Structure 1
Amino acid sequence: MRKSFDGLCGLVSSAMKRQATSGEVFVFLNRSRTHMKLLHWEKGGFVLYYKRLESGTFVAPHVKNGELSWSDLVLMVEGIQVVKSIRKKRFSLL
Structure 2
Amino acid sequence: MLVNYHDPRHVYIVCGNTDLRKGIDTLAILIADNFGMNLYDDSIFLFCGRRNDRFKGLYWDGEGFILLYKRFENGILTWPRTSEEVKELDDQQINLLLKGLNPLPQPKVHLAPKGAFY
Instruction: Give the conservation status (yes or no) of the 8 Å contact 2:31–2:39.
Output: yes
TM-score by length of 2: 0.57
**Structure 1 residues 48 and 66: alpha-carbon distance in aligned structure 2, compared to 1, 3 A threshold:** same
In the alignment, structure 1 segments of 5+ residues that lack a partner are 83-94
Counterpart of 2:94 in structure 1 is: 73
Unaligned residue ranges in structure 2 (runs of 5+): 1-19, 81-85, 104-118
In the alignment, the residues of structure 1 paired with residue 102 and residue 36 of structure 2 have an alpha-carbon distance, to the nearest angstrom, of: 29
Q: CA deviation at 1:80?
A: 4.2
Instruction: Specify the SS of the correspondent of 1:3.
Output: coil
In the aligned structure 2, how far is the partner of 1:14 from the partner of 1:33? 25
Contact 2:76 2:101 in 1 (8 A): no
Counterparts of 1:69 and 1:16, CA distance in 2:
20
Q: When you count helix as a share of all residues, which structure comes out higher?
A: 1
Identity of paired residues, percent? 30
After TM superposition, the runs of 4+ consecutive aligned structure 1 residues lying more than 4 A away are none
Cα RMSD over matched residues?
2.2
2:32 aligned to which of 10, 13, 25: 13
Report the number of matched residues. Answer: 79
- CA–CA separation in structure 2 for the residues paired with 1:16 and 1:47: 20
Report Cα offsets for 1:26-75 as digits up to 9, x if no partner.
Answer: 010112322201111112111111012334311237xxx72111331222
User: Which structure has more RCO (C-alpha within 8 Å, separation ≥ 6)?
Assistant: 2
Asked which structure has the greater CA Rg, the reply is 2
Per the alignment, residue 112 of structure 2 pairs with: none
Q: 1:14 to 1:41 in 2, by over 3 A?
A: same
After TM superposition, list the pairs within 5 Å mapping 1:52-67 onto structure 2.
52-60=71-79, 66-67=87-88
